């Protein structure tokens, strides 16, 4: 019995897609900024992967799936939040008021670096944030990032360098000003 072109067997999906679901969710979460939307994006991406698994040619399964997740996330954003793709960071909307901290100072100090990093990543331009997430958090090689983002490897390297520099500047500025719950320009 022959199966339809593009139809996926459960075994193929388990072998190709399931090992990379965490990476898929992480990328979706950073692109759409909302856990529920990220889950929806990953679910839709898995459905697309199932539909198009016939096009998978035994290459890098993670890069193949992340490209589908990336494209699905951008389709989601275009449909649901078109301004999110063109909107730059608006400090008045994204930075909480700089009030005095209360509560357990030791707990706060432990979480500060993580909060500052997350805030700094969120205000980077989308391309820089995306390449940093794929490289630093997901551990993809330059070639894999180029495949996922469908850009030349030189663009990956320059975007990574610029993204790292902007991230470093945001973190240094935040540290020098003592900002703990948000970043300021």
Query: From residue 160, how far is each of 27, 69, 142, 151 by CA, in Å?
Result: 16, 20, 9, 13
In tens digits, the chain (185 residues) has pLDDT values of: 344 444 557 777 888 899 999 999 999 998 988 999 999 999 999 999 988 887 777 788 899 999 999 999 999 998 987 655 544 433 333 333 344 444 444 445 445 667 777 888 888 888 899 999 999 889 999 999 999 999 999 999 999 999 999 989 988 887 777 655 555 44
As a CATH number, domain 1-88 is 1.10.1740.10
- Cα–Cα distance measured from residue 151 to residue 146, given in angstroms and rounded to the nearest whole number: 5
What's the whole-model pTM score?
0.67
CATH architecture of the domain formed by 89-178: Orthogonal Bundle (1.10)
**The token pair that represents 61 in the structure block:** 């399964």
Residues 6 or more apart from 14 whose CB is under 8 A from it?
A: none
Report the alpha-carbon angle 107-180-27, nearest 5: 90
Q: Where are the domains of the chain?
A: 1-88, 89-178
pLDDT at 149 (0 to 100): 93
């Amino acid at each position: 019995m022959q199966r339809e072109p593009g139809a996926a067997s459960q075994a193929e999906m388990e072998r190709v897609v399931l090992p990379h679901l965490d990476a898929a969710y992480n990328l979706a979460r950073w692109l759409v900024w909302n856990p529920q939307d990220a889950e929806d994006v990953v679910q839709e991406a898995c459905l697309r992967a199932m539909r198009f698994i016939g096009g998978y040619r035994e290459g890098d399964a993670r890069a193949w799936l992340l490209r589908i997740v990336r494209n699905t996330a951008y389709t989601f954003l275009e449909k649901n939040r078109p301004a999110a793709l063109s909107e730059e960071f608006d400090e008045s909307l994204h930075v909480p008021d700089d009030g005095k901290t209360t509560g357990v100072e030791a707990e706060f100090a432990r979480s500060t670096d993580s909060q500052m990093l997350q805030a700094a990543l969120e205000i980077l331009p989308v391309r820089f944030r995306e390449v940093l997430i794929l490289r630093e958090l997901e551990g993809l090689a330059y070639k894999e990032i180029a495949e996922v983002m469908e850009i030349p490897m030189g663009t990956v390297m320059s975007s990574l360098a610029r993204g790292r520099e902007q991230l470093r500047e945001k973190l240094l500025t935040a540290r020098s000003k003592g900002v703990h719950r948000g970043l300021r320009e």
